[in-house]
């Protein structure tokens, strides 16, 4: 015997004699009704052929309960962790996330934003590329729904954007201060200029070195290495310096841990970290920034500044929900989190 086909929640309510509001709550979130009610509904649903239609229920509402998330790459544990914490916070608030990668490419980023607009998301959290190319796209999208920028700013002008991220001047400052207190002042190995963090962290390094009365120096980097493969970047740049005996210093501060991991690999292959007895002699120091999940498993483990990724993820969702509820009147809101110094073995 085939089950009776039921098309609308109204029909369903009549067929299994459960009130529509209760059914609606149940389909949104089973845990929002009494367990006994949930069980009763489940049992009776098994006797009919009905599929709850999320899109249909959203169609006649202002809200889709969808949040768009765009990151430059999934294949970066920083963004993957950010995505994880955003998804957890969004789900807890009853939202579903639509995730798009911009694949580090401005055109893909534009496509991703257009997709989010076409899906009528209630809001979006975007970890943007550094380029200025999509500022107009963001502006246009921002007229449809609130956008919170996470981790970095689009382009260079941060004035109008809602933002949640790390206070680079504080986090880099802490590390420069630590390195200067405990040894030779650091030379800075900058990130490829792919996001606003690259310039912010470099400037933060210059400011703190000046404050400490030290001469700031950048590690020379070859042209045309605007890689997202940061470990490879750190490995090639420092490998090149080490193999020419040109390591201008014994203390290198890398703009992020992925670069530091590559630089540490380069130092290890040149035997620069270990004495004859296999212990680090402590002359060469390489520090990073972010506290990448694998940094403590590298040998020597990476001394770094921890970014509170989970706090940043939760913070972006909270701020976005506030904007969705209250609209975007008033000034932009910036939530800058401090980093925490984590001293391990590499510096």
Applying CB under 8 A, the residues found at the interface with its own copies are 27, 30, 51-56, 58-59, 64, 73-77, 80-81, 83-84, 87-88, 91, 96-101, 103, 111, 114-115, 117-120, 144, 231, 235, 261-262, 264-265, 268-269, 271, 274-278, 293-294, 297-299, 301
Q: Least Å distance between CB 26 and its own copies? A: 11
In SS3 terms, 279-319 reads as CECCCCEEECCECCCCHHHCCCCCEEEECCHHHHHHHHHHH
Indicate the residue among 1 and 55 with the shorter CB distance to its own copies: 55
Cα distance between residue 300 and residue 274, in whole Å = 9
Indicate the residue among 64 and 202 with the shorter CB distance to its own copies: 64
Q: Which of 305, 292, 145 is nearest to 126 (CA)?
A: 145
Indicate the residue among 223 and 277 with the shorter CB distance to its own copies: 277
Q: Least Å distance between CB 213 and its own copies? A: 35
Cα distance between residue 313 and residue 150, in whole Å = 8
Q: Least Å distance between CB 5 and its own copies? A: 14
Indicate the residue among 220 and 299 with the shorter CB distance to its own copies: 299
Q: Least Å distance between CB 34 and its own copies? A: 18
Cα distance between residue 8 and residue 282, in whole Å = 71
Q: Least Å distance between CB 314 and its own copies? A: 15
Q: Least Å distance between CB 299 and its own copies? A: 4
Report the run of H or E that residue 9 belongs to, with start and end.
helix 9-16
If one counts every other C-beta atom within 10 angstroms of the C-beta of residue 293, the result is: 13
Indicate the residue among 116 and 176 with the shorter CB distance to its own copies: 116
Q: Which of 175, 174, 229, 170 is nearest to 200 (CA)?
A: 170
* Distances, alpha carbon 87 to alpha carbons 81, 92, 313, in Å: 10, 8, 8
Cβ atoms of 226 and 254 within 8 Å: the answer is no
Indicate the residue among 21 and 332 with the shorter CB distance to its own copies: 21
Residue 94, classed as helix, strand or coil, is coil
């Amino acid at each position: 015997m085939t089950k009776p086909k039921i098309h609308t929640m109204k029909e369903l309510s009549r067929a299994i004699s459960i009130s529509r509001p209760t059914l609606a709550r149940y389909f949104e979130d089973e845990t929002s009704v009494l367990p006994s009610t949930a069980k009763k509904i489940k049992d009776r649903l098994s006797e009919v052929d009905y599929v709850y239609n999320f899109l249909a229920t959203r169609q006649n509402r202002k809200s889709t309960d969808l949040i768009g998330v765009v990151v430059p790459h999934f294949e970066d544990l920083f963004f993957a962790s950010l995505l994880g914490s955003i998804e957890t916070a969004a789900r807890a608030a009853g939202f579903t996330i639509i995730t798009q990668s911009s694949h580090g490419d401005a055109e893909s980023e534009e496509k991703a934003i257009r997709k989010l607009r076409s899906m009528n998301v209630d809001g979006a959290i975007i970890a943007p590329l550094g380029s200025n190319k999509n500022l107009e796209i963001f502006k246009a999208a921002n007229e449809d729904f609130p956008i919170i920028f996470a981790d970095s700013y689009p382009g260079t002008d941060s004035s109008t954007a809602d933002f949640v991220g790390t206070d680079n001047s504080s986090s880099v400052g802490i590390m420069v201060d630590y390195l200067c207190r405990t040894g030779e002042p650091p030379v800075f190995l900058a990130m490829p200029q792919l996001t606003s963090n690259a310039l912010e962290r470099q400037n933060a390094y210059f400011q703190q070195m000046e404050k400490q009365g030290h001469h700031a120096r950048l590690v020379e980097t070859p042209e045309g290495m605007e890689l997202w493969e940061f470990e490879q970047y750190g490995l090639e740049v420092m490998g090149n310096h080490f193999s020419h005996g040109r390591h201008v210093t014994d203390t290198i501060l890398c703009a992020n841990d992925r670069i530091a991991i590559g630089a540490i690999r380069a130092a290890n292959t040149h035997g620069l970290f270990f004495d004859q007895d296999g212990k680090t002699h402590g002359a060469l120091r390489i520090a990073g920034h972010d506290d990448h999940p694998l940094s403590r498993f590298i040998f020597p483990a990476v001394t770094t500044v921890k970014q509170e990724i989970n706090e940043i993820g939760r913070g972006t969702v909270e701020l976005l929900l506030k904007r969705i509820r209250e609209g975007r009147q008033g000034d932009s809101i910036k939530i800058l989190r401090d980093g925490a110094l984590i001293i391990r073995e590499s510096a």
